[in-house]
Amino acid sequence: MQTSEMTAKMAEGKGFIAALDQSGGSTPKALKGYGIEEGAWNTEAEMFGLIHEMRCRIIRSAVFTGEKVIGAILFERTMDGAVDGKPVPAALIEKGIVPFIKIDKGLEDEANGVQLMKPMPTLDALLTKARALGVYGTKERSVINSANREGIAAVVAQQFEVGRQVLSHGMMPIIEPEVNIKSATRAECDTILLDEILKNLDALPEGERVMLKLSLPVVAGTFDPLVGHPKVLRVVALSGGFKRPEACAELARNNGIIASFSRALLEDLRFQMSDAEFDAALGQAIDAIYLGSTRKSAPVAV
């Protein structure tokens, strides 16, 4: 796929983006969910080797194709690795799946009800390397815990600042200001977040577009103004801790938004499964998330 073909697939493709980007702190939890307990490795390298093999098993599965999975977000170590001798981004592209890379280095401590991203002093070098490997875009995550307008404005401003740096490398940023689904002021967070994103979109130069990865809103349709925005290539949703059935049901209530799920995609996969059992469980998850992304239950606005 050429860049123009990847852009077209992201803009119009039917399906969803798989998030295969669990990083250092979340890796033990991801492995435990996969059926590998913490004592199964002695070093960090061994731990990352186990999670890499889990991702390779997903990527090489016959059910993991560009027909329903239009993109995949990778952890940097995964991007640098190989699947059956092929660089991971190339293996994805061969399957018709657009590769992205997670670029954030984790979160700062909470202030003003939010957690900003930590500094990324080596970002330019990472972007240069990723683009050379055929990676199309990036993803960077912040967290919003309460409806503090000053804090939410700071999160969105930082996200768009990083997004502009990504755009300068000819890559597509997925901007992810996640609203904590356990927040007591979640609906207010959604409203303030929408306002701040619209302000920052208006400030983007003409001809530039970003993607957005957002928590599923309390009120279905809240993010409709973003779905049709000329400076937004696609809006995708994270599962945010919802189990897959609930995440897919919430997703189906929001027109024009597709999934970018991690836990909700992987929750039924186990290390101990035979290849046939693994493929069947992964296929069921893919089918459910695909339906939530493409078959909407919310009324279409007229």
- Over residues 178-187, the pLDDT tens digits come to 999 999 999 9
Number of domains comprising the chain? 1
Q: Band of the pLDDT at 302, cuts 50, 70, 90?
A: very low
Kindly state whether residue 270 falls inside one of the protein's structural domains: yes
Q: How confident is the model at residue 30 (pLDDT cuts 50, 70, 90)?
A: confident
Say which residue the tokens 């996200």 belong to: 159
Could you tell me if residue 300 is inside a domain? Answer: no
| Range 145-163 average pLDDT | 98
Q: What is the pLDDT of residue 25?
A: 67
Q: How confident is the model at residue 27 (pLDDT cuts 50, 70, 90)?
A: confident
24 pLDDT band (50/70/90 cuts)? low
Residue 279 lies in a domain: yes
Query: Which of 278, 231, 239 lies closest to 257, judged by CA?
Result: 239
Look up the domain containing 15 and give its range: 3-294
* Range with the poorest average pLDDT among 199-208, 259-268, 291-300: 291-300
Residue 162 lies in a domain: yes
Does residue 301 fall inside a structural domain? no
240: confidence class by pLDDT, cuts 50, 70, 90 = confident
CATH assignment of the domain containing 140? 3.20.20.70
Q: In this structure, what token pair is assigned to residue 302?
A: 């007229």
Of the listed ranges 36-40, 86-90, 161-165, 252-256, the one predicted with least confidence: 36-40
Share of residues in the chain with pLDDT > 70 (%):
97
- Give a yes or no: residue 52 inside a domain: yes
E-only strand ranges, the chain: 16-20, 69-74, 82-83, 86-87, 98-102, 114-115, 137-144, 172-179, 210-215, 232-238, 257-261
User: So which residues are the catalytic ones?
Assistant: 176, 213
Q: Are 177 and 139 in contact (CB under 8 A)?
A: no
Helix 149-167 and helix 123-132, axial crossing angle in degrees, nearest 10 = 50
The 10s digit of each residue's pLDDT in 100-129 is 999 999 999 999 999 999 999 999 999 999
Let me know if residue 86 belongs to a domain. yes
Between residues 80 and 25, which one has the greater pLDDT?
80
Q: Are 203 and 229 in contact (CB under 8 A)?
A: no
**Treating both helix axes as pointing N-terminal to C-terminal, what angle do 149-167 and 186-203 enclose, rounded to 10 degrees?**
40
Does 77 map to a domain? yes
